[in-house]
Amino acid sequence: MSAQGQQRHPQQMHKPYFPQVASLGGVPTVKVDVPISAVFLFLFIISAAAHMTIFQLNKRKGHKFVISGMMFGFSMARITACILRIAWATRPTHIPLAIAAQIFVAAGVVLMFVINLIFAQRILRGAQPFIGWHKLSKIPFTFLYALIVVSLVMLITCTVQSFYTLNRNTHRIDRDVQLYGQTIFAIMSFLPIPIVLICNLVPKHAEWEKFGGGRWRTKMWIILVGAVLLCLGATFRCGTNYKTPRPRTDPAWYHSKACFYLFNFTIEITVLYLYAITRVDQRFHVPDGSKGPGDYSKRLGGAVSEHMSEIDMEENRSVKDQHHHAHDKDPSTGGDDLQR
């Protein structure tokens, strides 16, 4: 009997210990998780290549857009997470692999929260220069970035510690810290949404400072779509963690693999592709050394300015085509007579 127990639960006999509560996605399996993770691995490789290509091409033109490098970094983190999950599926009792896989899944997305906050801050400074550049508005953003880093360190530390102890009180403390971290991340993912919406509601004290290429409306829609998707994933993870822990042998529906891949990798790859296709590197670029009102309106030079002008021309052409199409279809304008 004792020998059988040791064969069934060898991970319980020494540190680290396998967790006894259900987690999102559960233990990966070769039949289900390997092919799915392989598909996402391929998609994230494409994302990494796309964002690094954009970053290098812009760098050669003197266009510094570090955010493209950050999205490349996030794509690489997700590539690592997929590889670790595949490796974990082939060795389901290898706890160090489980720890590494869970850390990379939990930590990587924080980069996207920071990127969206940066975009929202640029919208705020462009739409409301007096408010956006005021010292009182700089302090909260600086605090948020620092809070994200501190919370991430705490979350990783407690996640690792939970695998190396059987003490119930320590597990309780680790769970409280993990709930705190997930709550902070959910709030961070949500903040860009009200910031962008408030920019449209608060009366303007000055003209909007245009930056980058493309229309304001397009910029706002890009941020809102990206933020809503990331917020959906973050709030799902946060909300399910607040539920009463269930045994690993009796997981709830929200612990399923479908929920894991949908609210993690699917949402994230969608946002990464959205930001690459819509060329946020051109739309959200601001002049180097911007420190106050009026700096966003500085003209950019060379190929950067030319490329941004192309984005403006394409959007203006699209708007004109829509208006012209509507004009031709409206009988009151005499459009049919003109066509004849």
Q: Which amino acid is at 285?
A: H
- pLDDT score recorded for residue 88: 96
Distance CA 299, CA 251 (A): 57
Distance CA 110, CA 125 (A): 23
Q: In the structure encoding, which two tokens stand for residue 83, read together?
A: 């590889």
Confirm if 227 and 189 have CB atoms less than 8 A apart: yes
Q: Which residues contact 208 (CB under 8 A, 6 or more apart)?
A: 126, 127, 216
Percent of the chain with pLDDT over 70: 80
Segment 108-136, tens digit of pLDDT? 899 999 999 999 999 998 888 888 888 88
From residue 200, alpha-carbon distances to 42, 251, 265 in Å are 39, 44, 32
- pLDDT score recorded for residue 313: 56
- pLDDT score recorded for residue 204: 66
Nearest residue to 46 via CA among 271, 262, 272? 272
What spatial distance separates the first Cα and last Cα of the chain, rounded to whole Å? 93
Confirm if 199 and 124 have CB atoms less than 8 A apart: yes
Those residues of the chain that have pLDDT short of 70 are 1-14, 203-207, 289, 292-295, 298-340
- pLDDT score recorded for residue 310: 56
Instruction: Output the DSSP codes for 222-234.
Output: HHHHHHHHHHHHH
Distance CA 274, CA 268 (A): 10
Nearest residue to 192 via CA among 215, 224, 222? 224
Q: How many residues make up the chain in this entry?
A: 340
Instruction: Output the DSSP codes for 175-208.
Output: HHHHHHHHHHHHHHHHTHHHHHHHHHHSPPSS--
- pLDDT score recorded for residue 132: 80
Q: Where are the domains of the chain?
A: 15-286+299-316
> Residue 70, SS3?
helix
Q: In the structure encoding, which two tokens stand for residue 72, read together?
A: 């490349």
> Residue 242, SS3?
helix
Instruction: Output the DSSP codes for 2-30.
Output: HHHHHHH-GGGSSSSPPP-B--TT-S--T
Q: Is domain 15-286+299-316 in CATH 1.10.357, yes or no? A: no
247: DSSP letter: B
Q: Apex CA 259: angle with CA 258 and CA 264, to 5°?
A: 110
Location of structure tokens 């979350």: 155
